[in-house]
Amino acid sequence: MDAYTQSVAHHRAGRFDDAIAAARQALVEAPDDPLVHNLLGVCLTSVPSATEGIQLLRRAVARWPGHEHLVTNLAIALQNAGEQKEAWRYLRHLLVLNPASATAIDRLAMLSMTWRGDRNGAARLADRAARLSPQDEGIRINQSLAWAPHDLDRTILALDAAITINPRNTYAYVQKAGALMRRGQLQPALHPLRRALKLDPNHDDAIKHALRCQHYHAASQSAATQEPGPGTGILLRGPFSTASGYAHMGRRYIQTLRKQQMPLQAIGVFGHETWADEPLDKPVGAKAAINIMVPLAVEPIPGLTTILYSMFEGPRISRTWAQQSLAADMVIVPTQSSRLAWASAGYPDDRIRVCPLGVDAEPSAADAPPLTLVDASGRRVDSYRHRFLNVSDAIPRKNLDGVLRVWLRATNRNDDAVLILKPGKGGNEAARRHLQSVVRQTQDHVGRSFADAAPIVLVDQPLSEAEMTGLFRTANYYFSLSHGEGWDLPLSKAGAMGMGLIAPAHSSYMDYLDDRFARMIPCTIGPAHLPYSRDPWEPFFGLDWWEPDEEVAAGIVADIIAGRDKGMPDASGHLLGNFTWDQATHKLRRILADAGLLRDGGTI
């Protein structure tokens, strides 16, 4: 058996080290054979570190640009490595070589959805791939995913096709059950769930779906046994156990409703959350289900009014969000900005209600001391006179590239100032790579090194609630240059704690800030795209967001550092007096009462 054949056999058996060794020998024996280069590249990209394999395939494609197998495997390896833009380029090249390549079209469909955010384009490509390869189980699954946000009927048809091809495909049964649940069809959803659990009794998603069905059925039965008219309690559904903003919002409502002794049923987005003090999964005679989440995750409960409590960070929601929102009988948003985002996309304005959220000064962590931080030279952060803080997920919408551009332009190395950056939850490798890329690009764009600016301290580890409060106490200004916010929990918390606020004059900020309470940055509206690129950012495909005026922002920062701005306004009294969680909860209860859905509406 020659080295090439040995390598193929080892690879098919999962013996990757042996496959690589044999493929290297085959390359020595036939250095000019593109198939040998292809084999070694595939073997090297099958191991955790695929860098060497990708580089080998790149060189081979440059040498044989018309070789379909080489281009296919390079595109797949790049996509698997998260290099979406380059994978997109090679998949399009593959389509030129073979316009009937179902692999290229299928993978372009997935990238259209998950990278570009073009869901309509993804559905068209997925349908084309399915026509070219109708008996490919994976392509049918991907077709169902492409259609899921648009058309649940076509989603289910694609999943049925996948099940016909492979009746033991547990994933397809679970996905079909999820699609039926999103249509509020609980009984039909039970059949594919039973099939999935018969195939795999420990299938995690199937178990979670079944738990939610049980909770929904109990809530539906409870509503049916109540007298006509308003309900006696509230049902909340949301991602309460995660670290997201929606989860934080949901937990605050749960805590406050319990304090107000309002009967409450809480159903987690996964269906299996546990509660510290008492069970919260028992029906309470609710007549409405409040879904604290994005529109695409709503699951109607038969017999209950469906309410979506959500928010958006741009001037208008997407067509997909607008379409999914129509399944809700009412949409509740926290700000006028979000109300306009739904109304401008066609959701009936008379079915939208505004219920502001609360702000968090974290009284439970009132004794938390400031964090001890040092800069790269070993100087303590608390020794700087001007300490600016930004807490943001490392995503394009947060505009960390803008924050860094302003800092480069506004500060010098001898300034008595420091910028503290806390990127999201911390400890995320993808976020680190994004931030590193933005730092490099920002220096090139501005033409100045961060070594010439005032120091930046990166806090890149997860922090507890008390430690987060300590982080806020380390700073005396909070600086946001976001392209759009549904509420901005960190900034509102900073303001409630008495920090000076610098914020763009757009989206949610306009509901709780103005020039009396913060230094406001004027903004324009422009297309949403990736930093230093014209490529779209997936969640905002085809949409606009706000562009803060960075020249004005740099002037504000420079004036503070130079002592020209000695009268930073204080927003704490305004925020704590007008935006508490008690007030938010009473407002929510009043909205339900006015709609005839809750017996006790409370007071505003």
Predicted confidence band of residue 413 (pLDDT cuts 50, 70, 90): very high
The CATH number for 228-354, chosen from 3.10.20.30, 3.40.50.11930, 3.65.10.10, 3.40.190.10, is: 3.40.50.11930
Cα(235)–Cα(226) distance, rounded to whole angstroms? Answer: 15
Instruction: Name the percent of the chain lying above pLDDT 90.
Output: 86
Report whether pLDDT(77) > 80: yes
pLDDT of res. 477: 98
N-to-C CA span, the chain: 82
What's the chain's Rg over C-alpha atoms?
A: 27
Start-end ranges of CATH 3.40.50.11930 in the chain? Answer: 228-354
Cα(27)–Cα(34) distance, rounded to whole angstroms? Answer: 9
Question: What H or E segment, with its residue span, contains residue 431?
Answer: helix 429-446
Cα(150)–Cα(173) distance, rounded to whole angstroms? Answer: 19
Helix ranges (H only) for 118-237 are 119-132, 137-147, 152-165, 170-182, 186-199, 204-225
Start-end ranges of CATH 1.25.40.10 in the chain? Answer: 3-168
User: Is 570 in a helix, a strand, or coil?
Assistant: coil
Start-end ranges of CATH 3.40.50.2000 in the chain? Answer: 370-578
Q: What is the pLDDT of residues 561-590, one digit of tens each?
A: 999 998 899 999 999 999 999 999 999 999
The neighbour count for residue 360, using CB atoms within 10 Å, is 25
pLDDT, average across residues 283-291: 96
- 111: nearest Cα among 128, 129, 88: 88
User: Is 84 in a helix, a strand, or coil?
Assistant: helix
Are the beta carbons of 52 and 45 closer than 8 angstroms?
A: no
Q: What is the pLDDT of residues 493-514, one digit of tens each?
A: 999 999 999 999 999 999 999 9
Are the beta carbons of 259 and 288 closer than 8 angstroms?
A: no
Cα(295)–Cα(116) distance, rounded to whole angstroms? Answer: 19
Report whether pLDDT(437) > 90: no
The DSSP symbol for 282 reads S
Measure the CA angle with vertex 30, ends 26 and 33; round to 5°. 110
Q: What is the pLDDT of residues 259-271, one digit of tens each?
A: 999 999 999 988 7
Q: What is the pLDDT of residues 299-347, one digit of tens each?
A: 999 999 999 999 999 999 999 999 999 999 999 999 999 999 999 999 9
pLDDT of res. 425: 65
Cα(33)–Cα(543) distance, rounded to whole angstroms? Answer: 47
Cα(315)–Cα(479) distance, rounded to whole angstroms? Answer: 22
Instruction: Name the percent of the chain lying above pLDDT 70.
Output: 97
Report whether pLDDT(363) > 80: no
pLDDT of res. 143: 97
The CATH number for 3-168, chosen from 3.40.720.10, 1.25.40.10, 1.10.1060.10, 3.20.20.70, is: 1.25.40.10
pLDDT, average across residues 423-438: 74
pLDDT, average across residues 16-32: 94
Reported as half-sphere exposure (CB side, CA atoms, 13 A), residue 542 has a value of: 13
Q: Which amino acid is at 433?
A: R
pLDDT of res. 355: 98
Question: What H or E segment, with its residue span, contains residue 237?
Answer: strand 234-238
239-246, Cβ contacts within 8 angstroms, sequence gap of 24 or more: 239/268, 239/269, 239/270, 239/292, 239/293, 240/266, 240/268, 240/269, 240/273, 241/268, 241/270, 241/273, 242/269, 243/425, 245/486, 245/487, 245/489, 246/292, 246/293, 246/294
Cα(180)–Cα(86) distance, rounded to whole angstroms? Answer: 36
Average pLDDT, the chain: 93
- 192 token code pair: 């594919």
pLDDT of res. 526: 96
What CA dihedral angle connects 445, 451, 456 and 459, to 10 degrees? 100
Cα(163)–Cα(216) distance, rounded to whole angstroms? Answer: 26
Predicted confidence band of residue 435 (pLDDT cuts 50, 70, 90): confident
pLDDT of res. 602: 45
Q: What is the pLDDT of residues 165-193, one digit of tens each?
A: 999 999 999 999 999 999 999 999 999 99
For every residue of 467-521, which 3-state class applies, written as one string?
HHHHHHHHCCEEECCCCCCCCCHHHHHHHHCCCEEEEECCCCHHHHCCCCCCEEE
Predicted confidence band of residue 604 (pLDDT cuts 50, 70, 90): very low
Q: What is the pLDDT of residues 193-237, one digit of tens each?
A: 999 999 999 999 999 999 999 999 999 999 999 889 999 999 999
Predicted confidence band of residue 603 (pLDDT cuts 50, 70, 90): very low
The CATH number for 370-578, chosen from 3.40.50.2000, 3.40.1620.10, 1.10.3720.10, 3.30.565.10, is: 3.40.50.2000
